Chains A and B, each alone.
Chain A
Amino acid sequence: MTQTQADDLRPTTAEPVVLMRGISIEFPGVKALQDVDLTLRPGEVHALMGENGAGKSTLIKALTGVYTPDAGTTTLNGVQVAFHGPAAAQSAGISTVYQEVNLCSNLSVAENILLGREPRRLGGIDGRAMRARSAEVLARMGLDVDPASILSSHPIAIQQLVAIARAVEIDSRVLILDEPTSSLDADEVAELFRVIRSLRDEGVAIVFVSHFLEQVFEISDRMTVLRNGRVVGEYATAELTRLELVSAMLGREMDLLEEIERAVAESAPSDATDTPLVRVTGLGRTGAIEPFDLTIRAGEVVGLAGLLGSGRTELARLLFAADRADAGHVEVDGRPLRLRGPRSAIAAGIAFCSEDRKGEGLVADLSIRDNLVLAMQAARGWARPIPRRTKDELVEKYIEALDIRPGNPDALIGNLSGGNQQKVLLARWLVTEPRLLILDEPTRGIDVGAKAQIQKLVADLAAGGMAVLYISAELEEVVRLSDRVVVLRDHRKIAELDGRDVSVSDVMALIASGDQADHRSGGTERKAS
């Protein structure tokens, strides 16, 4: 269990530790994985790449026994295995550290490392031996953490490293890191990478899943690229350029998206001399977003770009009056509007699709039909129920128009895929015929095909005269769709660009500009491939 044993594992050959061959998994209506191969070698960091919905997490879950594949074989050190749950995979030496730290924050660091395998003495758990053992593991990873301290007293980054320490203690031969860096800052990422490298050098096979390309190029030795549930290829990181990786990840979807781009470029926004649909002056809320000006015309797509936490959602919520502004005012059609709450915003023709689909959008236990008519019913008031026939007509129309699957109006929305849920939410607002549609991360966590469909829909809506405020972390989407791009940083609007001439790198440069970016590049060595 200690250093010596781990040293024995040091790779002398490149004999794979895990071989997955021909893995297929099908969910109702979706082929999540089709004939996927994955090869993990000891002493290697293997990146699993692909867009959201490409099948990365499904593949990981197939490996760790959360899902049982419909077809295909998995061998571990040449022996065919089939795990019936994460516990079984773990005892076979395959550990996973998830994006959300899956530990018990109410217990001590030592307990979290050793829970279930506590050393015992005289019929009881030996607390001292437990602390000593975990101190040993932590020291081996170069971590300076008091094993007796409660886990919740440490920042997320440390908690994540403790989760890795737990995997190290189990003496895992395969360590899966699912988006381990998404909540870490640059220094913490450097710390994590140091630990990853030392584990790799001890002969652990590491699977690294991340959507940060730079990090993937920095840490990985090899990568498997997935697209739409199929393997595009396996590459040695050193032999792949970033451009090649991106085109492998996006594939033919890019053609479809470029088509949208052309369509957007051709559609002419209404004349700048028109009265803008919405004009916002000095709207702001302390702690959420500094006062900003914004005008949106009918038929225009305005994109909001910025990093997570830059104030994108806060801006949208102010405009929809989901949060109360403490400065500034809003004009609609040139007339001042007092936004008292979402009801008054809806009455003014503003609709808001929240980024938090589950929490602020869907009612998971209701059917597609009921979810779809919610906003319309709210607009009519409770005293005027919508006739069943009208409902059915509406639902049928939108299921067809947005290609919602399954097309059964009585299906519970909780059972739909993310993309289809998003379409139902969109349809919910479209039936109220809004004039300004605010979309907050409409394509997050949905598959590539649905992403393209939703973007196409946004382009079509704008062409039909609707104004759209489009918020997304995916800069390409924002740039592709928008007539104008508003850039936010640190809760402040820092620029407004004409979407026609702007490129993703322009926007990135703006986001990264300023002293903070300088500070970051000084903070860690991060080399591109």
Chain B
Amino acid sequence: MKAAQLPTRPEGAAPVATSRPARRRTPVPTRFLPVIATFVLFVAMFGVGSVRYEGFASGQVVANLFIDNAFLIVLAVGMTFVILTGGIDLSVGSVVALSTMVAAAGLQAGWSAPLTILAVLAMGSGFGLLMGLVIHYFEIQPFIVTLAGLFLARGLCYVISVESIPIKDDTFRSIATGVIELPGGTVITPSVVIALVVVAVAAYVLHLTRFGRTVYAVGGSESSARLMGLATARAKVGVYVISGFCSALAGLLFSFYMLSGYSLHAVGMELDAIAAVVIGGTLLSGGVGLVVGSLLGVLVLGTIQTFISFEGTLSSWWTKIAIGTLLLIFIVMQRLFVGRKA
């Protein structure tokens, strides 16, 4: 008989990393780099704006970034959860529109404001729950399921009404017109406060709860997370509930902003939200990203719009061109970043 097996592989026969782990702590962990890059970009853009345009460098311009994009911030937060698990939620724009419709129609029908708000939030969460369950238990790609959600929600808007419905409720109007004065004469709206609270809560959930860490683990490797005995199903379905809830909340903020419900509100807004999340440094493959990054991503998008309005003569389509270019740059950056790790 002959000897049976190969000897142990000699060193150098196959590339195996033998380097000892670095013991020094790098001053800035690499996972913060994309967010820092976004922040630097935001500051740089603002700097350029301040130099070019008179009145750009004012506290109110910054505050307006938040006021005009409060709903997008909330939307991007929900999207961040979904993308962190490696999923995607295309339905959010339509759910925003549906939320404005439900709110406007409900108020018109004589519902009280708190009841309307609760109904809208429950509707959004339930919608997300449904999509999450289908995605998880039927193992269907999130892209397809939420695409179906996109059409469904948009279609439901037209069932409620094809016309725009104005909102005349006093509570809604007072929130919409209410201002909060900050020291230095800058004013913000209640919506901004709501959006920032959402960001804070999201950061807490993602970093300091088991649910949040499971979201990251699922995005890193779903099968590993399952083998480690984590509640992957809860996390995977949960992120769509969160995204649905955030969409409904964003819809409410949007109805404060527009004071109407309309089927054509927020068309394509899901793409703005995804763009903001990606520009904020979250990997589309999941597992890496910070909710603060998404906030910065929204601010970058808002700054581009501010540029266009200050320029005055530029077509608003330049916004799209700028966003497209930025997205491309960030995705290539991510690829290089991931490639270097591997």
Residue ranges of A at the interface with B (Cβ–Cβ < 8 Å) = 86-87, 90-91, 96, 98, 102-107, 111, 115-116, 118, 123-125, 144-146, 148-150, 152-158, 166, 181, 183-189, 211-215, 242-243, 246-247, 249-250, 254, 307-310, 473-476, 479, 489-490, 503-505, 508, 511-512, 516-517, 519-520, 523, 526
Contact = CB atoms under 8 A, between A and B. Distances in A.
Contact of B11 (A124, A157, A186): A186
A471 B65 CA distance: 64
Interface string B1-35: 11111111111111111111111010001110000
B296 interface: no
B18, B25, B30, B288 pick with most chain A CB within 10 angstroms: B18
Interface stretch (B73-81, B219-227, B252-260, B303-311): B219-227
Given A91-B229, A309-B13, A104 B287 contact: yes
Contacts of B230: 115-116
Given A87-B229, A150-B30, A516-B12, A102 B7 contact: no
Nearest to B217: A104
A97 B317 CA distance: 54
A145 to B, nearest CB: 5
B9 A188 contact: no
Nearest to B219: A106
Contact of B14 (A105, A309, A476): A309
| Chain B interface size, under 10 / 10 to 19 / 20 to 34 / 35 or more | 35 or more
B23 to A, nearest CB: 6
Given A104-B224, A124-B209, A148-B25, A211 B13 contact: no
A144 B213 CA distance: 25
B210 A505 contact: no
B4, B20, B30 pick with most chain A CB within 10 angstroms: B4
B159 interface: no
Contacts of B226: 86-87
Contact of A189 (B8, B10, B14, B30): B8
Contacts of B207: 125
B83 to A, nearest CB: 13
B204 interface: yes
A246 to B, nearest CB: 4
Nearest to A91: B229
Contacts of A115: 213-214, 217, 225, 228, 230
B216 interface: yes
B208 A185 contact: no
Contact of B21 (A86, A149, A166, A517): A149
Given A186-B8, A479-B2, A155 B18 contact: yes
Interface string B185-225: 00000000000000000001001111001101101110111
Q: Which 7 A-B pairs have the closest CB atoms?
A: A104-B220, A124-B208, A87-B229, A155-B17, A309-B14, A106-B287, A106-B220
A131 to B, nearest CB: 11
Contact of A504 (B3, B17, B19, B25): B3
A125 B208 contact: yes
A307 B14 contact: yes
Nearest to B8: A212
A214 B21 CA distance: 28
B221 A104 contact: yes
A115 B21 CA distance: 21
A523 B11 contact: yes
A503 B25 CA distance: 53
Contact of A188 (B7, B16, B30): B16
B6 A107 contact: no
Contact of A105 (B13, B21, B210, B220): B220
B151 to A, nearest CB: 28
B257 to A, nearest CB: 33
Given A102-B224, A106-B219, A476-B4, A517 B31 contact: no
A512 B10 contact: yes
B2, B23, B25, B230 pick with most chain A CB within 10 angstroms: B2
A107 B213 contact: yes
A519 B11 contact: yes
20 contacts: A98-B227, A104-B225, A106-B219, A144-B20, A145-B21, A149-B22, A153-B341, A184-B16, A185-B11, A188-B18, A242-B3, A307-B9, A307-B10, A308-B14, A309-B14, A474-B6, A475-B5, A508-B7, A511-B6, A516-B10
A148 B29 CA distance: 10
B220 A476 contact: no
A254 B17 contact: no
A149 B23 CA distance: 9
Nearest to A151: B220
